[in-house]
Amino acid sequence: MSAITVLIADDIAATREDIKRLLYFEEDITIIGEAGDGDEAVIMSDSLKPDVILMDVNMPRVDGIKASEMITVKNPESSIIIISIQGEQEYLRKAMAAGARDYLVKPFSSSELAETIRKVSDYSRKRRLRLVEGGGPTPAAPSREPGKIITLFSSKGGVGKTTTACNLAISIVQRARKKVALVDMDLQGGDVSVFLNISAKGGVSDVVQESDYSDPSLLETYLCPHMSGIRVLPAPGSPEQAELVAASHAEGILKALKDSYDYIIVDTAAAINEITLVCLEMSDQILVLLNQELPSLRHARVNMEILEKLGLTFKSRLILNRYRNDGLKLKDLEKNINSSINATLPDDGETVSMSINKGQPFVMTRPSAEITSQLGNLASSLTPEQTRAAKGPDGAEETPRKSLIGKIFSF
């Protein structure tokens, strides 16, 4: 395979020299040009057609954002990596919207720089191959029933959403033999990749940098395989990357996954934000997790009130996690939260802790455990052979989404 060609665009000569020094020993990467401002970068990209452009944000004449936008239109085959200093997240978001594929924050190491160049170049190569072989985005099979979205939700952290999401996804594969995707929409602090021992850098934030990120065949290239048979879309690798993901991105990703997967399990943040609200509204089933502790009960009561205001209680189930017989009784818990509890998962701290620390889901390593059995029962109840699309309480299709935040505070 030929070397990856790179154009450096930075108005500081010393920075350009530093970049060349960092890449000096990378045999598969070749510097073919240098630009001192955005205007030069646009001209040189048109003539040199580099595979990758390292673009500084702040440059004279034409800045990096405008230059990225112009290059994306004139020479879309060149992938742009923004290089910037800390504290410029707004610039980074604008640059991604202008067509940049990734970014690096100064200072960066030689390995970090080379890895990012290779990753961006590889993504672009795969996309070009897909377009050549398939003639464009791949349409969904017309006869396929859309997949079902199951979202785990709680505004209280530490109730076991991620553990349940990971094991539930695998249990569905084991019992229903369906195609399952697990999506980590806890953008700021998601740990799905850690719980499953999956090595992933960007996940959701990588996907949304693609102009056709909602194309199912492209999205498939970003999903990480797990030995259980599920495929995983991890959370972003840093808070800066999380800032690049908007609610509209989450909606597009979930719609695309419905075209390719039977079940999509979504883990969400312990917060009420636009991303979480989009996931809730698009769900066919919402699992509201709680435990027997008083703070968790208070959050569960508030969460159910929010879902009622949004008109989503008809597809919501309360799941009592870490249930202990010596704790508050079920009837007392239900009275406290003014809602019925639909399922319980037993308290098995030793099994769960070992599972998390080893990155090995307990439904795989402890198949005979009571918690595995109960989670399997939950999986079976969520995956009947004939599952109709979620409809409103009267059986009618849901109406187009209004402002969900507005709904919460309008009562």
Cα 122 to Cα 128: distance, rounded to the nearest angstrom:
10
Closest by CA position to 206, among listed 264, 262, 110, 124: 124
Burial class (CB in 10 A: 0-12, 13-18, 19+), 397: exposed
**CB-based burial of residue 291 (10 Å sphere; 0-12 exposed, 13-18 middle, 19+ buried)?**
buried
Residue 340, pLDDT score: 92
Q: Which two tokens stand for residue 399?
A: 């109406």
The pLDDT value given to residue 127: 67
Q: Where in the chain is the domain with CATH 3.40.50.300?
A: 148-384+401-409
CA–CA dist 289, 154 (Å, integer): 6
- Ranges of residues in the chain with a pLDDT under 70 are 1, 86-93, 96-97, 127-144, 200-202, 385-411
Instruction: From 231, 230, 234, select the one nearest 172 (Cα to Cα).
Output: 230
What is the model's pLDDT at position 86? 58
Q: Is 408 exposed, middle or buried (0-12, 13-18, 19+ CB in 10 A)?
A: middle
Pairing of strands 224-225, 102-105: unpaired
Q: What is the pLDDT of residue 133?
A: 54
Report which residue type is found at 340. S
Homologous superfamily of 4-134 in CATH? Answer: Response regulator (3.40.50.2300)
Which residues belong to CATH 3.40.50.2300 in the chain?
4-134
- Tell me how many helices (H) and strands (E) the chain has: 18, 13
- What is the reported pLDDT for 217? 78
pLDDT of residue 139: 47
Q: What is the pLDDT of residue 400?
A: 44
Q: Which fold has domain 148-384+401-409?
A: Rossmann fold (3.40.50)
Quick one: pLDDT at residue 387?
35
| Range list of H helices, 155-266 | 161-176, 192-195, 204-207, 216-220, 239-242, 247-260
Task: Check: CB of residue 156 under 8 Å from CB of residue 322.
Answer: no
